[in-house]
Structure formats: C-alpha cells, structure tokens
Chains A and B, each alone.
Chain A
Amino acid sequence: MGLDSEAQQALQMVEAQGVGAAGGHKGGLFGGGAPTFLTTKLDFVVNWGRRNSLWPMPFGTACCAIEMMASAASNFDLARFGMERMSFSPRQADVLICAGRVPYKLAPVLRRVWDQMAQPKWCISMGACASSGGIFDTYSMVQGIDTIVPVDVYIPGCPPRPEALIYGLMMIQEKIRGESLADHHALRAEDPHTVGRPRASAEEVARVSVPFGNSTQQDQSSVLPGEAELARTENLPS
C-alpha cells in the first residue's frame, strides 16, 4: 500500500505538471508547474552546457566592433568564457552581439539575422548607440535595437571596454543559470507572427525615442523628458 500510493502520487504529480500546463504547451515532463528533482537536475546540466558554450554572432557596425574584436583577441580572450569562436553564420550562433549604431536601412538585416538564429538565443546590445541611438538622435538611426529585436543585456559605454563586454556575456551566463526548461518556452520564444516585424508597438517606440533635449528644430512627437513615461514593457505587439 505504502509503495503503491507513493508511486501513484508521483505519477499524478507528473501528469499534473505535464497535461495541466498553462499557456497551451504540448504536455510532457517539462510543461510547467513546480520544479521537481528531475527537472532541476536536468535544468542544471542543460544550462551548464548552454552557458559555457555561448557562440556569439558578431553584428559589428561601428567602433564598438573594434572593442569586440579586442575582446576576442589574446589580451582578453573571450574563449576563456566558452565563447569559443565568433560565429559568422547566424544558424550556428547563440548570442547576438549588436555592436554599434544601426541605421534604419540596416534594421531589416538585423531583424533577419535574429530570426535566422536558432532557439535558444540571447541578444546583447553593446554600447550607447545600439542601446538608445546614442548621440545619433537623427532621421536615419534606430533609437535602440530593442525596438527591432528583444535584448537581454545592455552594455553602456561609448564604446564599452572589452572588460564590459565580457561582463555582459557573464551576465548572460548568469541569466542562463537561472533559467528552467519548464518556462524556457515562455521566456525565450517570440510570437512567430512577429518575425520580420517591429518588436515594439508604436506607442512603445514613441515612448523610448523621446528627445534628449539637445536635439533641435523638431516638429514631431517631441515631448519634454519630464512628461514622458520611460518604462519599457515586456509586451509583444499584438
């Protein structure tokens, strides 16, 4: 009786996790619910593998890319952290490093590179220009690549030193350490219908591209910095 009931209980637990998972997941052991011994240990092994073999996809467009190259060279040597090689093909890359300013003409290219990367994937926005447009608050420049692709880590600096890039990659590693297969789908996967479309909604783009105050002669969407709501939302466009 004792053994049987324990086994039954465990079976029920597994079933409850698998079938009753929220968010339309396809059943299975890792569909959701409270973590079990099995899933936490598997999470540990999978995350250990993922975080120690992050292959960067370098998307270098400006001076930040010079620092990125220095990070990969012998003095700083990214390979120590498992970023064994720069993967110049998005299909074999895990983490997109967008280093430098992105003009609107390049936006669809960045979006396509991101879409071509296989899950699981992460994104680093390196430097002021990639993160916010930087000093280029002009007609041609994307005001933060997070309006195009989802960003995990923002690295400040103009350009950031190689140590900063390495620290950013280590933060990605920390983030992976805390991830679980159970909620991985919810964490990483984007709505497939947003492929090739802006990640941010129109309101969000308007909100994050508030003028800094030193850009002049504006006749559109200019809001005083104090009046603007600066929070960024997690929501994908509907």
Chain B
Amino acid sequence: MSDDTTGSFDQVERGPEASAEDCAKPAFQEGAAGDHPSVGLLIERFGDAIVGHEVNSGDQHVVFVDPARNTEVLAWLKEDESQRYDFLVDVTAVDYGRGQPLEVVYQLWSIPNRRALRIKCRLDLAALRIESLTSLWKSANWLEREVYDLFGIHFDNHPDLRRILMPEDYAEGHPLRKDFPLRGRFSRAEQTRRALEQNPDHQYRDDLRAIGGEPAVVTLPDELPETLAEGES
C-alpha cells in the first residue's frame, strides 16, 4: 500500500459535498414551451399559477406550479379531453439542502396520448404543506404517505396520512431530509431497544388479525417468563 491513496480516502471521510449548483429558480425556458402540447396551453390557461418551465435531457418537460393551486392545474391535466394525463406515475420530493425549498414532484403519463409531463411545486421549509391529490388519483394515497414519511411534507385533506415505510412511532424525524444524519439521531442501542418494543401486530387492523372470529392476542401473558422457565403446569 503506497501513501498516495490516502488523499482519495480523505475525500471519503469528508463525505458528500453539497452540489455547487443551487436549486434553480424557476424560469421560463426560451421558446421551449411549443415543443410540448400541454405546456403552452397550461401557461395560457392558468397564467401566474405556472411559475416556470424547463426541458431536461432533451425532451423531459418540467412545469413549475404554484403549490397553492396544484389541484386545480392537475385536475385540468387529468380531466381535459385534450390532455388526459390519467396515470399518476409517481409523487416524490427533492431536498436540495442548505435551507432551499423542497420540491414536490408529480410525474404524469397520459395513456391515450402516450405523453409524459413532470409537475414540480416548491415549498418553503417553513411551510411544508400542500393539497393532497387523493381526490384525483387513488394512487396518490400511498405515494403521498411515503413523501410525508421520508420528507415531512404534510398533505392537506389526505384520508390517511401516516408513516408508511418507517415504524409508526419513529421519533427520529424524516430520513430523506438533507439535515438527517445517515445513521439516525439515536444511538444504535436505543434504536435496537425501540425496535424490539414495537408490536408488529399493531400495524394490522383488528379484523385482519382475528383468528377464526376470535380477537387475536396482542400482548404476551405476564406469566410467560415463568411458564417458559418452569414448564406448563
């Protein structure tokens, strides 16, 4: 092993650095709106609700929408005969770190028109709230729960806004935020203790846990340690 490798390991020790490029301020890209059959109509119809437009990787059109009017714009994209974006492919979010706004990303696909469109809404860290799209697409339910779980963005009028990936009593925050330490906020011992205190049964409804119509036993009997040690009498 020669010493000239230490420099590269230093880089590893320092960890990832924030990208030099900040989250771009939404703007309208010159002359690109006409390339997509929806973007021009959106700008024309919704005016100042559309705060920006850009094209990524050649043909991926991204429209920035005022978060206060997201349902209005997306409802039109879904329902209008000329648009028919009937498939909500994904709802996710991006944290650029350094106090910049979080972006909620809606990826749409129109099955009849075979056309894709990406909608982004920027939310200030101080007000991480946005209207839920569950009234438009049923698939938004779990996708928004995931965004809530991992980024801490609240979706108003969501029917069931609970954590979906992390344990329901997870107390360390929202793991995909840039300010979240890689190993979590608690010590490993505390994480292990809390993990084993979870009752996995609590993740299921009572009627799903019932055995032959009888309610399932959710707690171990108090005398279990003695029974295990002494045998059943």
Q: Which of A147, A195, A216 contacts B220 (CB 8 A)?
A: A195
Measured between beta carbons, the chain B residues less than 8 angstroms from A202 are 187, 189-190, 193
Cβ contact within 8 Å between A219 and B181: yes
Question: Could you tell me the distance between the alpha carbons of A129 and B224 in the complex, rounded to whole angstroms?
Answer: 32
Cβ contact within 8 Å between A216 and B12: yes
- In this complex, what residue of B is CB-closest to A203? B189
Question: Could you tell me the distance between the alpha carbons of A198 and B191 in the complex, rounded to whole angstroms?
Answer: 10
Q: How far is the CB of B192 from chain A (nearest CB, A)?
A: 5
Measured between beta carbons, the chain A residues less than 8 angstroms from B87 are none
Cβ contact within 8 Å between A142 and B195: yes
Cβ contact within 8 Å between A148 and B196: yes
Cβ contact within 8 Å between B220 and A139: no
Question: Could you tell me the distance between the alpha carbons of A219 and B187 in the complex, rounded to whole angstroms?
Answer: 10
Of B181, B184, B193, B224, chain A has the most CB atoms within 10 Å of the CB of B181
| Chain A 177-213 interface 0/1 with B at a Cβ cutoff of 8 Å (1 = within) | 0000000000000001101111011110110010101
Measured between beta carbons, the chain B residues less than 8 angstroms from A206 are 187-189
Give the interface segment out of A11-19, A35-43, A83-91, A103-111: A103-111
| Chain B 1-34 interface 0/1 with A at a Cβ cutoff of 8 Å (1 = within) | 0000000000011111000000000000000000
Known contacts A142-B192, A147-B192, A196-B220: A137-B183 contact under CB 8 Å: yes
Cβ contact within 8 Å between A192 and B182: no
Q: How far is the CB of A182 from chain B (nearest CB, A)?
A: 19
- In this complex, what residue of A is CB-closest to B181? A219
Of B167, B193, B195, chain A has the most CB atoms within 10 Å of the CB of B195
Cβ contact within 8 Å between B188 and A139: no
Q: Which of A197, A213, A221 contacts B196 (CB 8 A)?
A: A197
Q: How far is the CB of B162 from chain A (nearest CB, A)?
A: 14
Question: Could you tell me the distance between the alpha carbons of A109 and B203 in the complex, rounded to whole angstroms?
Answer: 12
Measured between beta carbons, the chain B residues less than 8 angstroms from A140 are 166, 175, 184
Measured between beta carbons, the chain A residues less than 8 angstroms from B190 are 202
Give the size category of A's interface with B: 35 or more
| Chain B 171-205 interface 0/1 with A at a Cβ cutoff of 8 Å (1 = within) | 01001000011111111111111111111100000
Cβ contact within 8 Å between B187 and A192: no
Q: Does B225 contact A (CB under 8 A)?
A: yes
Give the size category of B's interface with A: 35 or more
Q: How far is the CB of A30 from chain B (nearest CB, A)?
A: 16
Question: Could you tell me the distance between the alpha carbons of A19 and B79 in the complex, rounded to whole angstroms?
Answer: 84
Q: Does B228 contact A (CB under 8 A)?
A: yes
- In this complex, what residue of A is CB-closest to B172? A139
Known contacts A192-B224, A206-B188: A111-B182 contact under CB 8 Å: no
Q: Which of B16, B183, B194, B197 contacts A139 (CB 8 A)?
A: B183
Q: Does B81 contact A (CB under 8 A)?
A: no
Measured between beta carbons, the chain A residues less than 8 angstroms from B15 are 216-217
Measured between beta carbons, the chain A residues less than 8 angstroms from B16 are 216-217
- In this complex, what residue of B is CB-closest to A217? B15
Measured between beta carbons, the chain B residues less than 8 angstroms from A217 are 15-16, 181-182
Question: Could you tell me the distance between the alpha carbons of A203 and B198 in the complex, rounded to whole angstroms?
Answer: 21
Q: Which of B12, B167, B186, B228 contacts A192 (CB 8 A)?
A: B228
Measured between beta carbons, the chain A residues less than 8 angstroms from B187 are 202, 205-206, 220-221
Q: Which of B13, B166, B182 contacts A213 (CB 8 A)?
A: B13
Q: State the B residues within 8 Å of A (CB).
A: 12-16, 165-167, 172, 175, 180-200, 220, 224-226, 228-229
A-B contact pairs, 28 of them (CB 8 A): A105-B165, A105-B166, A108-B196, A108-B198, A108-B199, A138-B184, A139-B191, A140-B166, A143-B188, A148-B192, A192-B228, A195-B225, A198-B189, A198-B193, A200-B192, A202-B190, A205-B192, A213-B12, A213-B13, A216-B12, A216-B16, A216-B182, A217-B16, A217-B182, A218-B182, A220-B186, A220-B187, A221-B188
Taking A140-B184, A192-B229 as given, write out 11 further A-B residue pairs in contact, using a Cβ cutoff of 8 Å, ordered by the A residue number: A107-B196, A112-B200, A137-B182, A139-B181, A147-B188, A147-B192, A192-B224, A205-B189, A218-B182, A220-B183, A221-B188
Please provide the 4 A-B residue pairs with the shortest distance between their CB atoms, ordered closest to farther: A216-B15, A139-B184, A202-B189, A104-B195
